[in-house]
Chain A
């Protein structure tokens, strides 16, 4: 059964335009001109119940606008959508009891209060009473391992801890669908891994349908089976993550810091981007060479102190998708 059905969803914003400088400002004041910005351009897709879907794209692609329409925050300019059988912008309040949303850049926790107090307040917003709330709180605290810091004011939490609390806050009312908009934005590697693990557990243990937006390719690779890529408001790819991985997420950049100076280094099938006595930065195409074999070759030549792996930037993936000839890959919606 489909948890979400979206057909030809379209959103146009009318924005004021002005020439740069003071003169432009005066002109805009006397004779304002407007232009239309198409944020979402006729997108259609379905999401099955219990699915963990990645909805990815670069900044300004239309991800957040889509989520805002699917949660009823914004009215679309055209098109239709149903979430759990309800039209979001017509039955916003009714739908709010069955969905949850986390906007990575907008907190739903009270900055000066411990997360526990915010949870209790959210309990009253979602009309969860007495014992039910206590039972749910203990489940959520256990699932998200919040015990250590649930009584600490939110302002004193790390970004990773805060994000765990944000997601926990959004599932207190046991939503059937949860929208996570950039939940790993600004987090360090360890915190990112923790959030990914928790999202996975949420999907597996509570059977929650998860609609995840991110511009971190790592989130998608490690969490989702299906991915929709959006750019300039249009869906350019709707495919499986394994297809995306094998065809588009093929380059990784490795940053290696040496334990001792190493002026000479020879690595096969990699593109060296920078090499100094202290370290090396190189690009690996995993289609032709596995990370494992490159690292074995590296370890045979030098002792390392630190290694980090960079995923390809979303802009590179998008460029790659557009660069493919039409029809290559059955799911390529961009053509």
Chain B
């Protein structure tokens, strides 16, 4: 059991390292993507800053809440894109028969697909998330580690949601566009304060489109830690990942491969 876990960690690390090396082959493109992503995120915050120079709070949310919201959402997105970047491409892999490669290997197909890619620009998101977190709260080692746990859990929620959305391709055919729209909806809702939505919408945002677990709940935990909230987040992330795994493997039974010419290129 311990050996198997050690081998899995090594396998994940080796992939992460290969993806990073691959991205750094083009030094200029890598650095510019990272820097521009950081600036792009700052621009989004700028508009909120302008708004909060005119109002004191938005349904109880201050600018500091917004900073934490952005830190949590960008951190979660960075975790997904850096560690499980393959989750953005599952639909295409299904439609184009690219899963053959993973099926011919002795590792779990879903994990292998998820870690097969890593998006270089997401280093900009991660740097942004950590910077904003450190600016918006009184940082300590414990709080920073706690923040990393939160964004990892948020990343697992986003990845699981992506797996569910992209697995629709097993039944609907090439539905990458639909999956991407669902992912964008999740990310967009994660970047607005929970307090502006009605109770019904909030219910949707804590279930069908789980933005609540990507950013709202982490913001609450960052403001006032409770074991109940932390446990709720971790249990939801675990439960959603189990559901995503189940749906993916059910769909995989319908996989029909293909004969497209394929090469391994990392973003």
Contact = CB atoms under 8 A, between A and B. Distances in A.
A13 B97 CA distance: 14
Interface string A43-85: 0000000000000000000001100100111110000000000
B99 to A, nearest CB: 8
A154 to B, nearest CB: 8
Interface stretch (A2-10, A107-115, A248-256, A264-272): A107-115
A117 interface: yes
Contacts, number: 81
Interface residues of B, number: 31
Interface string B1-30: 000000100110011001001100110000
A93 interface: yes
A126 interface: yes
Contact of B263 (A107, A120, A124, A126): A107
A73 B257 contact: yes
A308 interface: no
Nearest to A13: B256
Interface string B234-267: 0000000000000000000101110111111110
B264 A75 contact: no
B106 A107 contact: no
A125 B105 contact: yes
Contacts of B15: 121
Contacts of A120: 14
A113 B22 contact: yes
Given A103-B100, A108-B101, A109-B264, A93 B256 contact: no
A111 B104 contact: no
Contact of A110 (B7, B10, B262, B264): B264
Contacts of B7: 124, 127
Nearest to A72: B103
A110 B108 CA distance: 20
Contacts of A110: 18, 22, 264, 266
Contacts of B253: 75
Contact of B18 (A96, A101, A113): A113
A25 B256 CA distance: 22
Main SS class of interface, B: loop
B250 to A, nearest CB: 13
Nearest to B265: A111
B105 A105 contact: no
A97 B22 CA distance: 26
Interface in B150-196: none
Interface string A86-110: 0000001110110001010111111
A42 interface: no
Contact of A64 (B106, B108, B259, B262): B259
Interface string A106-143: 11111111000110110011110000000000000000
B120 to A, nearest CB: 11
A121 B259 contact: no
Contacts of A71: 103-104
Contact of B21 (A74, A96, A107, A113): A113
A218 interface: no
Contacts of A65: 257
B229 interface: no
A200 B123 CA distance: 47
A73 B100 contact: yes
A153 interface: yes
Contacts of A108: 101, 264
A113 B15 CA distance: 12
Interface string B43-66: 000000000000000000000000
A105 B14 contact: no
B25 A153 contact: yes
Given A110-B18, A110-B22, A121-B15, A101 B104 contact: yes
B94 to A, nearest CB: 13
A35 B21 CA distance: 46
A117 B264 CA distance: 13
A32 to B, nearest CB: 10
A121 B18 contact: yes
Contacts of A93: 106-108
Contacts of A106: 98, 100-101, 260-263
B10 to A, nearest CB: 6
B27 to A, nearest CB: 12
Contacts of A75: 253
Nearest to A122: B105
Contacts of B26: 112
A113 to B, nearest CB: 5
What 3 A-B pairs come out closest when comparing CB atoms?
A: A96-B106, A106-B262, A73-B103
Given A64-B259, A125-B105, 15 more contacts: A71-B103, A74-B255, A94-B106, A96-B106, A106-B100, A108-B264, A110-B22, A110-B264, A112-B265, A117-B21, A121-B18, A124-B7, A124-B10, A126-B106, A153-B25
